[in-house]
Amino acid sequence: MAIQLQGNSGTIAEVDGTNYRALRTTLRPIDVGSLGSYRVSLLSGTMAAGLGALSDIWQLRWTDSSRFCVINSVLWDGLAGTSTAFTAGVGFVGLSIARSWTADGSGGTAATLTTNNQKLRSSMGTSLMGSVRIASTAALGTGTKTLDAQSIGQYSIGIDTTANKQHTPAFALFSAAPGIESPIILAQNEGLAIRATVPATGTWQFGVTVHWTEVAAF
């Protein structure tokens, strides 16, 4: 016996093909209701030589008490050495989830998220994000938070002594396939931090792009 599926508008669901007759569907983004979806890409300043091992260089903190932040992707936009060359060695970039984040980080450049800034549609609500910041010339102040024991995304970098060189390409530190993999879901006072270790003497610049959605329930 055939069964028909009828959508909210009264339209009957269709199928494709003559063999498997798979249900015809359309993937859509998360329904944000009165909230929204956002994307921000930040570029550091010229980082001074002598960064401490595993220093915070990018942070995102969610502070809203009743809504959730769904992280869809965190992209590392590359690391470029500038006019002062590195000592040859190995570098590291890692993305970690932070819990119990009760005091914000400090320093660097904070993203402007007021009014329509970074909305993916103007009719969406203004972002509820607590802060997104990137280092300018030195490591960020860590704030008060507890990082998970291991990173959730990382990249190991072989760095040579050539000045003015692109040492890493752009790559995803985290990316969730829609409808297949779980995104990162942040509740109040949770967040993300990127930490880095680089060889001595070099000055450098990097970028980070993050895409997130704010929802009442997930």
Question: From the centroid of its chain, how far is CA 199?
Answer: 25
User: What is the count of structural domains for the chain?
Assistant: 1
Asked whether residue 17 is domain-assigned, the answer is: no
Instruction: Tell me how far CA of residue 18 lies from CA of 3, 22, 172, in angstroms.
Output: 17, 9, 38
Q: Is the pTM of this model over 0.85?
A: yes
Percent of the chain scoring above 90 in pLDDT: 83
Asked whether residue 20 is domain-assigned, the answer is: no
Domain that holds residue 200: 33-215
Cα–Cα distance measured from residue 218 to residue 67, given in angstroms and rounded to the nearest whole number: 9
Asked whether residue 1 is domain-assigned, the answer is: no
Asked whether residue 19 is domain-assigned, the answer is: no
The pLDDT of residue 2 is above 80: no
pLDDT of the residue at 14: 86
Asked whether residue 26 is domain-assigned, the answer is: no
Asked whether residue 92 is domain-assigned, the answer is: yes
The pLDDT of residue 17 is above 80: yes
Instruction: Tell me how far CA of residue 123 lies from CA of 9, 33, 127, in angstroms.
Output: 23, 11, 12
Mean pLDDT (the chain) is 95
Cα–Cα distance measured from residue 81 to residue 167, given in angstroms and rounded to the nearest whole number: 7
The pLDDT of residue 26 is above 80: no
Q: What is the pLDDT of residues 97-153, one digit of tens each?
A: 999 999 999 999 999 999 999 999 999 999 999 999 999 999 999 999 999 999 999
Asked whether residue 18 is domain-assigned, the answer is: no
Asked whether residue 102 is domain-assigned, the answer is: yes
